[in-house]
Amino acid sequence: MNNMIAPLIIDVDPHAEPDGLVRLLRRRYDNDSNAFLAVAPGRVNIIGEHTDYNGFPVLPFAIDREIKIAFVPSDDDTVELTSMDDYGLRMFQVREGRSPYAQGDWGNYVKAAVRGFLEKGIIDARRARGFRGICAGSIPVSAGLSSSSALVVAAGLAFLAANGVEMDSLDCAGILARSERFAGIEGGGMDQAVSLMGKQDMALKIDFFPLRIQHVPLLEKHVFVVCNSLVRASKTASARMSYNRRVVECRLAALLLRAALVGRTGVRIDASRLGDFNPEKTGLSWEDLERMADEVMYGSPLPVSVIANRVGISVEDIVEEYCALSDGTAFVQPGEGYEVWKRFVHVVTEARRVEETVNALTRGDVTAVGALMNLSHESCRDNYGISCDELEALTGIALESGAIGSRLTGAGFGGCTVNLVESSILSSFIGDVKTKYYEDYLGVILDPERRDDVLFPCRASDGARIYRYR
Ligand code: GLA
């Protein structure tokens, strides 16, 4: 797995009809040769929510919806990209592109990708070439299907190709995951990894620190159906703060656990994430660790002053070290304190569910996969606090309509659910959810043209690639 190369460049037969976006690009830039098309898919996560940044695995697959960038390399270091989805034009020089656009601007995802390779020294800013192009997407936006990471990946691959640079896909995924944090969310590494390395008909079990992938076969005669709750979960608005808060809560949970471990056993380990407390390192079972966590997190939610007291470091040091965000700001202290215990419970039980789901998929045990998805959803709601009324209604209706498992997917706070459905009942499932959720519960009639963006079965697809047109 470790020798996949990014960007994967595929030469297109010169006699084949070019992609529509490439035709548009050629008209716009009056170019009838050398053009590229970067394609990066979105993803749906079957299970393993909010585990990635904790160093525990996830189990997503890349979907058959993507962001495309048709481009030509620039002669200089200009990056110029026009959105065909009406988000306008963004243009910057690679050398000067480090300061972000306004919070929430889509151009920040393009800048993030460029910045990642510069900071790692993969591309030298003094000699870098930009690219000029147009982009369009078929991934519903703010829906938890990773349209923003797909844009980061597509832009990253375009930048690599414009500079004739190839690199290991795992390294590339790591760089893009880190650099996407530049856009203000402390995300983990799932979305960029699966967008880059997805594989047709396979889910990907992704492990982190270091990044590793394993292909897991999907179930025969069953499909994963995505249903959009139509509650926008924009990573740039309030969902961003709620997401970052959970990242901070998990860091604090790890801090408390580390202190408890030293206090109880004298064992001092280098552990900044919950996933670092594995039995090999600690010499303890997860059951022992859970008992310790229960004691040290007693009374949760905990104000930072109580946490400081329990771990024996100052409030200022905690704020500086554990509440700092990658964009240079510090997370604002929540008045009611940090929910360390519930977050801990979600993360460690979710990590186990990922392993169990991989086993259940491998032996083709549909019922077990569905049950694990349902348990995951309950934990996302009760322990992680990332569901909402609409997602509850939608998962309930999906189960009533025959889904074997139904859960929110992605960061939560709105967005989509993923539903495991037997292929033979697919059309009745879609019909029932359409009536019961969209028409009866939300009171909206889905435009038949848009329906496929709201309620659709997903095929597991290959990861990102670049097509070269000569
Ligand atoms: C977002 C982040 C991912 C992951 C999920 C939740 O999609 O980008 O890294 O944390 O939320 O599982």
Q: Encode the chain (470 residues) as per-residue pLDDT tens digits.
A: 556 999 999 999 999 999 999 999 999 987 777 899 999 999 999 999 999 999 999 999 999 999 999 999 999 999 999 999 989 999 999 998 778 999 889 999 999 999 999 999 999 999 999 999 999 999 999 899 999 999 999 999 999 999 999 999 999 999 999 999 988 889 999 999 999 999 999 999 999 999 999 999 999 999 999 999 999 987 666 888 899 999 999 999 999 999 999 999 998 999 999 999 988 889 999 999 999 999 999 999 999 999 999 999 999 999 999 999 887 888 888 889 999 999 999 999 999 999 999 999 999 999 999 999 999 999 999 999 999 999 999 999 999 999 999 999 999 999 999 999 999 999 999 999 999 999 999 999 988 878 788 999 999 999 999 999 98
Element (H, E) at 264: helix 238-265
Q: Please tell me the distance between residue 274's alpha carbon and the centre of ligand 1 in angstroms.
A: 16
Residues in the chain: 470
Q: Which CATH number fits domain 237-341: 3.40.50.300, 1.20.1440.340, 3.40.50.150, 1.10.3720.10?
A: 1.20.1440.340
Predicted pLDDT of residue 3:
67
Helix, strand, or coil here: 47?
A: strand
Predicted pLDDT of residue 452:
83
| Ligand 1 pocket member 415 (CB < 6 A) | no
Hey, what's the torsion of the CAs at 296, 302, 308, 312, to 10 degrees?
-10
Residue owning the nearest CA to atom 2 of ligand 1: 187
Within a 10 A sphere around the Cβ of 305, how many other Cβ atoms?
Answer: 13
Contact 56, 347 (CB under 8 A): yes
CATH topology classification for 343-458: Alpha-Beta Plaits (3.30.70)
Q: What backbone torsions phi and psi does residue 285 show, to the nearest 5 degrees?
A: -80, 165
Predicted pLDDT of residue 97:
77
- State how beta strands 5-6 and 35-47 pair: unpaired
d(CA 51, CA 60) in angstroms, rounded, equals 12
Level-2 CATH architecture, domain 5-219+460-469: 2-Layer Sandwich (3.30)
| Ligand 1 pocket member 190 (CB < 6 A) | yes
d(CA 114, CA 80) in angstroms, rounded, equals 12
d(CA 147, CA 235) in angstroms, rounded, equals 10
Q: What is the pLDDT of residues 405-452, one digit of tens each?
A: 999 999 999 999 999 999 999 999 999 999 999 999 999 998 887 878
| Ligand 1 pocket member 50 (CB < 6 A) | yes
Predicted pLDDT of residue 236:
60
d(CA 443, CA 460) in angstroms, rounded, equals 31
pTM of the complete model: 0.97
Domain boundaries, the chain: 5-219+460-469, 237-341, 343-458
Within a 10 A sphere around the Cβ of 396, how many other Cβ atoms?
Answer: 14
Q: Please tell me the distance between residue 384's alpha carbon and the centre of ligand 1 in angstroms.
A: 13
What would you report as the CA-atom Rg of the chain, rounded to the nearest whole angstrom? 22
What is the per-residue DSSP string for 4-51? -EES-EEEPPTTSPPPHHHHHHHHHHT--S-EEEEEEEEEEEEE-TT-
Distances, alpha carbon 50 to alpha carbons 287, 323, 357, 373, 458, in Å? 21, 17, 16, 14, 22
Predicted pLDDT of residue 453:
87
CB burial of residue 442 (10 Å; 0-12, 13-18, 19+): middle
Which atom of ligand 1 lies closest to the CA of 45?
A: 12
Which residue, chain included where needed, has tokens 């994967």? 8
d(CA 70, CA 72) in angstroms, rounded, equals 7
d(CA 423, CA 218) in angstroms, rounded, equals 13
Q: Please tell me the distance between residue 25's alpha carbon and the centre of ligand 1 in angstroms.
A: 32
Predicted pLDDT of residue 326:
83
191 is annotated as an active-site residue: yes
Please name which of 269, 233, 182 lies closest in space to residue 415, comparing C-alpha atoms: 233
Given ligand 1 and candidates 190, 204, 234, 251, which is best to mutate, with the most ligand atoms within 8 Å of its CB? 190
Catalytic-labelled residue, pool 52, 77, 191, 207: 191
In sequence order, what are the beta bridge partners of 457? 225
| Percent share of the chain, pLDDT over 70 | 99
Which atom of ligand 1 lies closest to the CA of 177?
A: 9
